[in-house]
Structure 1
């Protein structure tokens, strides 16, 4: 079997995460630190969503990193600190590796199997939900950048 659908999903997922990484790169340092904008928090939130959903085992511990700082991925909660762009880039890379492992384990025949977390959600649903979720936050961050007369991350 050639696993053509897994290849299609991967072709859509990979540029989505690359765009997330590009958001980190294009953001000016002083803007990154601006708590009012919550720019970094959207990236953190989207990445943490991938960490949750791409788990391979239901029992696998789900722990949100705090980078040793007062930070949360919860968009409605205030933080007194922020992860650096370097810390966030590493976190995105780490979670990208988790997602790639999830995709590497798939075959076209397994795409409609239930995900390990919720029986009513398939593995395909998980991938598509994460693409949609991450792209939502990419659009949100690009809107923040444009609203502040900054260059947005390029669409891939």
Structure 2
């Protein structure tokens, strides 16, 4: 990325706090809420992170594998799970996908922002970034609502 890639800088400046807020959700969640199947709190984070893993791929044929942490878990919000990833496992997963996203940004220049993403020609790389910010923020809001409605401290806005 060159000095003139000001738009990439702006997009990164908006994306990075979104990921930090996702990480903060893991930190602030009490353990009993983490594994409560009714709230699906951890699954919101897993789902949002997996979406980033999908969209920030650099190659169309890059293998897309959703981890299950060796447990009966899925990121599919409509499917039941008999288990859950630990907070530590989820932290590591978010960290891993953060580095995938960083690589995506590192390869970008302002000139490439309006090029099609590798997955779908009708969607630009900028669309991918903005879609992920919106999607992740939606799930952050969902989790913060769970915390707030149970009189717990929500993740701070960054």
TM-score normalised by length of structure 1: 0.99
2-structure distance, mates of 1:120, 1:110: 14
2:54 paired residue among 52, 55, 58: 52
Deviations 1:90-126 (A, max 9, x none): 0000000000000000000000000000000000000
- 3-state SS of 2:81 partner: coil
Partner of 2:13: 11
Structure 2 unaligned regions, length at least 5: none
TM-score normalised by length of structure 2: 0.98
RMSD (Å), alpha carbons: 0.5
1-structure distance, mates of 2:126, 2:151: 37
Partner of 1:146: 148
Partner of 1:73: 75
Partner of 2:98: 96
Q: Following superposition, which runs of at least 4 residues in structure 1 exceed 4 angstroms of deviation?
A: none
1-structure distance, mates of 2:79, 2:149: 23
Q: Which aligned pairs between 1:127-138 and structure 2 lie closer than 5 A?
A: 127-138=129-140
